[in-house]
Amino acid sequence: MGLSVYIPGDEGVGRASGETTLGNAFLQERVALYGFGGFMIAATFFVLRVVIALTVEPLPLSHSSFVLHELCIASYLAVWLIARRGRYSLWTIRGLDYAGVFLNTTWTVLTVMGIPMANRPDYIIIQCLSLVLMPRAIFVPSSAKRTGAIGALMGVMLLVSMYYASSHADPSTFPDAQRRELSPINTLVRSGAWWALTAGLAALTSHVIYGLQREVHRVRRLGQYALEEKLGEGGMGVVYRANHAMLRRPTAVKLLAPEKAGAVSIARFEREVRLTARLSHPNTVTIYDYGRTPEGSFYYAMELLEGATLEQIVDACGAQPPGRVVHIASQIASALCEAHAMGLIHRDIKPANVMLCERGGIADMVKVVDFGLVKELETDQGALTHGGTVTGTPLYLAPEAIRLPDQIDARADIYALGAVLYFLLAGEHVFQGQTTMEICAHHLHTAPVPIAEKCRAALGPDLAALVMECLAKDAAARPQSAEQVLRRLQDCADGKAWSTREARAWWQEHGGELHGRGTPKPVSGHSTIAVDLQRR
């Protein structure tokens, strides 16, 4: 799940029933890891035992110790398979954790009944139980007190089984030198001492790791926001899911990457917040808050968008119906109308920066995100927007953004919007290439294949003409404003508008397919770049 932070102290009662927090999700992930680790350990020893039983020390595989060992493997496997699927409440996760520990303790101590005392089952069982408790202390976040209590209960089960085994053993089968050592009292004292040492070491391990978890949580709290899982990473920083301490409102927090926290980067980051916060259009992501931590980290909080990017949608489902494309593009153009009217250019319009989500019961609500490269036309400062630098995503760069990056205007966003329309209608990019330079060369010199030849669905001439005009090499041949694009899109939508009913039906059919796809992996041409022309 990317970076996830377990929140110590967040494991008590008092949560709404059925609520799943990221702390729970992380704990569940660690319980699954514990189950997998235990399964691998138990399975490895089982294979070794089988090899020994078949070669060195003959023992029928139907022996009770083999059956109990198989139950131990099955218990770990069950914990792993259950914990890695779905999302569970805190009590369910804890129950799964405890069930794994005590079921495997049960199978382990029962093997005492089948091991002769002369073979020293006390040492064997303590070693086996150590492989139950110690991995748990390492993998599963737990306080020292909790681990100590679990170790104490396991110790009771160990001592009861050892007392039973030693008191029912036939002393005549013991070697003369071991008869006193293997008496019930000596066995209990020795087993208890060894187990106390093991349980104490496990509790200390939990204390150290749990303390580190608390420190991570302290560092990952930004003002009133507690960071949870990592959602994505862009040119200016990393985005996390977060929760406001007082409002309990799910939020996305963008944190300036520490390695980029120089004076110029900080100024750019603050500028991004300031410019984006000026935008109030419903199709533009909303900024809630901004601040700095005592440690000097810079962040801002924005609305959390639950949905999928256009890139994810096309990747999963292919080209989209023209009516839906018009519906989506109209919202993007509308958001750009406000930005351009305020003298702002986005400079990185691409499918990965446009999300479809549900807001106020409206399906297919567009949100334009990531204004990290935004350019302010009237008062732009070159040092803050990479003066003399080609900035953007190669697959969506306008020719003038490559030739004269310092002189671009709103028509560069219109070119990128045309490339997004092409991608949605055709299911593929305007240009392909093995390298960034090859893709840029296509934008400069290659005429795109007409969208009417690429689109499999019936495409109206108005929409086809608009897409190709937006992709004109000469900025003067394109629509001259986002407002013009919007008007033409509205004309294209006459008689075949994408309805709310169609949007809901689409999400019901494909929502599961998109769930959990995460951030798309970057491939050539998809990632935002910055090439300094003055140094080349």
Q: Tell me, yes or no, whether 365 lies in a domain.
A: yes
Q: Tell me, yes or no, whether 17 lies in a domain.
A: no
pLDDT of residue 251: 83
Of 196, 219, 242, the one marking the end of a domain is: 219
Q: Tell me, yes or no, whether 4 lies in a domain.
A: no
Residues 311 and 299 in one domain: no
Residues 206 and 163 in one domain: yes
Q: Tell me, yes or no, whether 8 lies in a domain.
A: no
Residues 269 and 181 in one domain: no
Which residue, among 283, 284, 286, has the nearest Cα to 327 in the 3D structure? 283
Using CB atoms within 10 A of its CB, is residue 86 exposed (0-12), middle (13-18) or buried (19+)?
exposed
pLDDT digits (tens, 9 = 90+) for 224-261: 777 777 777 765 667 888 877 677 677 888 777 555 55
Residues 482 and 400 in one domain: yes
Number of domains within the chain: 3
Q: Tell me, yes or no, whether 343 lies in a domain.
A: yes
pLDDT digits (tens, 9 = 90+) for 323-343: 889 999 999 999 999 988 888
Q: Tell me, yes or no, whether 1 lies in a domain.
A: no
pLDDT of residue 498: 79
DSSP assignment of 209-223: HHHHHHHHHHHTEET
CATH of the domain at 469: 1.10.510.10
pLDDT of residue 14: 33
Residues 68 and 178 in one domain: yes
Of 240, 270, 303, the one marking the end of a domain is: 303
Residues 150 and 235 in one domain: no
Which DSSP category does 343 fall into? Answer: T
**Could you tell me the residue range of the domain that residue 511 belongs to?**
307-535
CB of 466 closer than 8 Å to CB of 484: no
Residues 117 and 139 in one domain: yes
pLDDT of residue 176: 67
Residues 268 and 177 in one domain: no
Active-site positions read 348
CB contact burial 458-467 (16+ within 10 A = b; e otherwise): ebbeebbebb
pLDDT of residue 98: 92
Those residues of the chain that have pLDDT short of 50 are 1-22, 219, 373, 376-391, 495, 516-525, 527-536
Q: Tell me, yes or no, whether 290 lies in a domain.
A: yes
Residues 33 and 71 in one domain: yes
Residues 132 and 213 in one domain: yes
Residues 253 and 363 in one domain: no
Of 303, 324, 342, the one marking the end of a domain is: 303
Residues 64 and 182 in one domain: yes
Q: Tell me, yes or no, whether 9 lies in a domain.
A: no
CATH of the domain at 253: 3.30.200.20
CB of 237 closer than 8 Å to CB of 252: no
pLDDT of residue 401: 85
